[in-house]
């Protein structure tokens, strides 16, 4: 079975631009979460979607938005990019509603560099 897939793997953008990152969860998983991992730090929670509805939001500005599609894939959008948005963006899926006893299964991430 395919794991969580993310695209693109790498991306270079300029300050002020907009970016869209994509994620396909493991087949059968209905929940998708997005995390930001700055170099040298642990992943930080951005969004959680379950059954196409937002179920959780971390401490990120409104420039960050996401959505989940009927096939459970997801997009993360970031507007008005700042240098500080440079990071590895991780998508994770889980079989049940996360936050309980269901582990997150991560993709390999999208490395975003903002210049």
Partner 1 sequence: GENVEQHPSTLSVQEGDSAVIKCTYSDSASNYFPWYKQELGKGPQLIIDIRSNVGEKKDQRIAVTLNKTAKHFSLHITETQPEDSAVYFCAASKPTSGQNFVFGPGTRLSVLP
Binding site for partner 1 (CB under 8 A): 4, 33, 40-45, 48, 55-58, 90, 92, 98-101, 103-109
Please say which residue, 71 or 101, places its beta carbon nearer to partner 1.
101
Q: Please, what is the minimum distance in Å from the beta carbon of residue 35 to partner 1?
A: 8
Q: Please, what is the minimum distance in Å from the beta carbon of residue 70 to partner 1?
A: 22
CA 16/CA 39 separation, integer angstroms: 21
User: Could you count the other beta carbons within 10 Å of the beta carbon of residue 89?
Assistant: 23
Please say which residue, 8 or 16, places its beta carbon nearer to partner 1.
8
Q: Please, what is the minimum distance in Å from the beta carbon of residue 6 to partner 1?
A: 8
């Amino acid at each position: 079975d395919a794991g969580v897939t993310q695209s693109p793997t790498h991306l270079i953008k300029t300050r002020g631009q907009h970016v869209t990152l994509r994620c396909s969860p493991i087949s059968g998983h209905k929940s998708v979460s997005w995390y930001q991992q700055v170099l040298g730090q642990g992943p930080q929670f951005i969004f959680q979607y379950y059954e196409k509805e937002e179920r959780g939001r971390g401490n990120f500005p409104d420039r960050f938005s996401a959505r989940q599609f009927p096939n459970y894939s997801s997009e993360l959008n970031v507007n008005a990019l700042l240098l500080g948005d440079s990071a590895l963006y991780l998508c994770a899926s889980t079989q049940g509603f996360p936050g309980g006893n269901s582990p997150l299964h991560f993709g390999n991430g999208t490395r975003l560099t903002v210049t």
